[in-house]
């Protein structure tokens, strides 16, 4: 494990050397970082980390994105997620897996009132429709590991919420 300064990420290229697999779950919120900060973290930092990983020998990059990611979206969040997906795919990993989870069910240290309300609602909905609108973060983590242990023959594989649930059942 290495602690890096994302504002000076290029100076930490050695930390990205010699790894076959890269996992990326980096992200923030617009409320926490502002619009420019959100773009910097969710797109720019992720793309730069992926480039360093590839230069360091990474063969399989696994990116947690978001349900609805689309580089053409009018919504900043979905547009940035779509843009970073495109940037990461263009780097040319042997394998690239993109996970697009719905609402992540987790406990956060910081207060996010609207997210808390959504989690309560989607947590209850999960009893009726377990794969439709939410996914526990533990399930996403298991799916990320599983897609590396059982790689797809496809160069780029995109897993939507239902597939994340199925892969993360183990």
32 located within any domain? yes
| Catalytic residue flag (residue 45) | no
Structural domain count, the chain: 1
The answer to whether residue 80 is domain-embedded is: yes
d(CA 42, CA 78): 11
In a domain, 1, yes or no: no
Parts of the chain with a pLDDT under 70 = 108-116, 118-132, 170
- Which of 77, 155, 157, 169 is catalytic? The answer is 77
Asked whether residue 71 is domain-assigned, the answer is yes
pTM score of the predicted model: 0.88
pLDDT at 130: 60
In a domain, residue 109? The reply is yes
Q: Which of 59, 81, 153, 155 is catalytic?
A: 81
Residues paired with 158 in a beta bridge: 98
* Angstrom distance (rounded) from CA 125 to CA 121: 6
Nearest-angstrom CA–CA distance, 81 and 56 = 24
Structural domain including 110 reads 6-167
pLDDT at residue number 103: 87
For residue 64, being part of any structural domain is answered with: yes
12 is annotated as an active-site residue: no
């Amino acid at each position: 494990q290495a602690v890096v300064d994302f504002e000076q990420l290029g100076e930490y290229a050695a930390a990205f050397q010699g790894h076959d697999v890269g996992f990326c779950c980096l992200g923030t919120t617009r409320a926490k970082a502002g619009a420019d900060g959100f773009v910097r973290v969710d797109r720019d930092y992720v793309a730069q980390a992926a480039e360093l990983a590839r230069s360091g020998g990474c063969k399989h990059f696994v990116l947690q994105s978001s349900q609805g990611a689309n580089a053409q979206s009018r919504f900043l969040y979905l547009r940035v997620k779509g843009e970073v997906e495109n940037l990461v795919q263009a780097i040319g990993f042997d394998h690239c897996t993109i996970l697009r989870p719905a609402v992540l069910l987790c406990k956060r240290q910081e207060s996010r009132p609207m997210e808390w309300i959504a989690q309560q609602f989607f947590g209850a909905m999960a009893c009726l429709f377990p794969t439709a609108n939410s996914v526990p973060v533990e399930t996403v983590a298991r799916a990320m590991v599983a897609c590396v242990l059982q790689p797809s023959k496809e160069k780029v594989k995109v897993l939507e919420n239902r597939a994340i649930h199925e892969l993360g059942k183990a």
